[in-house]
Amino acid sequence: MAPLLILRNIGLTFGGHPLLSGADLSVSEGERLCLVGRNGSGKSTLLKIAAGLVQPDSGDRDSEGPAQRQVLECRRVRASAEVARALALRPGDPVVQARRVLAFGGVPTILEDLWLPGAAFKGLSAEQMAGYQGPTYAMFEVEFGVRMVRAEEKIRAIAADAQQAQLLQVPPGTPLLSVERVAYTYNDIPMELRRGVYRTDTHHYRNALS
């Protein structure tokens, strides 16, 4: 079951002294937790951070849990000239094409299309993409031995077309954020082309690329 609340690497300094450092907390539906510690160790403060009453100096608070993934398709196709150019392939080479919707708190938020070199990702299925509990790049590394080490992105504003509006449950013409990413493995070999459109009415786009 997906957690309802996640605190990651929480840090807070009070009066010049660190009260919390690297604190993590995960709570699932129906779960009961007991915080044990000395007076002044930060128990009440951590609960206030979990409730959104105190803002930490560092770390992340996620009250929605991880994304819920709906994989709409995952199939092998022939690379178009555009996809082949992005992945340093030849037009017509086999690629895996996938489309999925990511929801947070039950709200469809991201629509993604992915293209992956067919030779490196042979056997990738929709069930595998939907069922893996960790990050997608972790699955690529564990299941296929492909590690992404850097990425380049292009970002622009667009208006939702009819299909995007239907899948993201917004009116046609709604402003969306379009992000195109090419991710690279070692030796600067491109291994993924990803095009995502993001709702920004309830979320903002944040990413750290290395």
Residue 204 is assigned to a structural domain of this protein: no
CATH at 102: 3.40.1410.10
pLDDT at 30 (0 to 100) = 66
Residue 32 is assigned to a structural domain of this protein: yes
* DSSP-derived 3-state class of residue 27: strand
* DSSP-derived 3-state class of residue 203: coil
Alpha-carbon Rg for the chain in angstroms: 20
Q: Is pLDDT above 70 for 29?
A: no
pLDDT at 203 (0 to 100) = 73
Residues 93 and 159 in one domain: yes
pLDDT at 22 (0 to 100) = 83
How many CB atoms sit inside 10 A of residue 156's CB? 9
More confident: 33 or 97: 97
**Residue 65 to residues 39, 103, 181, Cα–Cα distance (Å):** 30, 10, 24
How many CB atoms sit inside 10 A of residue 76's CB? 14
**Residue 135 to residues 102, 167, 203, Cα–Cα distance (Å):** 12, 22, 19
Q: Is pLDDT above 50 for 61?
A: yes
Residue 25 is assigned to a structural domain of this protein: yes
Sheet holding 94-104, edge to edge: 68-78, 94-104, 107-117, 189-199, 175-185, 150-159
How many CB atoms sit inside 10 A of residue 79's CB? 22
Q: Residue 145: CB partners within 8 Å, gap ≥ 6?
A: none
Closest among 153, 143, 72 to 110, alpha carbons compared: 72
Q: Is pLDDT above 50 for 1?
A: no
Lowest average pLDDT, out of 13-17, 103-107, 126-130, 180-184, goes to 13-17
pLDDT at 10 (0 to 100) = 85
pLDDT at 5 (0 to 100) = 74
Share of the chain above pLDDT 90, in %: 55
pLDDT at 195 (0 to 100) = 97
Q: What confidence tier does 3 reach under pLDDT thresholds 50, 70, 90?
A: low
Lowest average pLDDT, out of 27-36, 89-98, 195-204, goes to 27-36
Mean pLDDT, residues 19-41? 79
Residues 55 and 79 in one domain: no
Output the average pLDDT for the chain.
87
Pair 95, 74: CB distance under 8 Å: no
Last residue of a domain, one of 18, 40, 62: 62
Mean pLDDT, residues 48-61? 78
Q: Is pLDDT above 60 for 63?
A: no
More confident: 210 or 187: 187
Mean pLDDT, residues 97-116? 93
pLDDT at 56 (0 to 100) = 82
Q: In 118-159, which ranges are E strands?
A: 150-159
Pair 78, 63: CB distance under 8 Å: no
pLDDT at 90 (0 to 100) = 98
Residue 209 is assigned to a structural domain of this protein: no
Distance CA 74, CA 114 (A): 9
Residues 81 and 184 in one domain: yes
Pair 75, 86: CB distance under 8 Å: no
Residue 208 is assigned to a structural domain of this protein: no
CA 31 to chain centre: 25
Q: Is pLDDT above 70 for 65?
A: no
Residues 56 and 107 in one domain: no
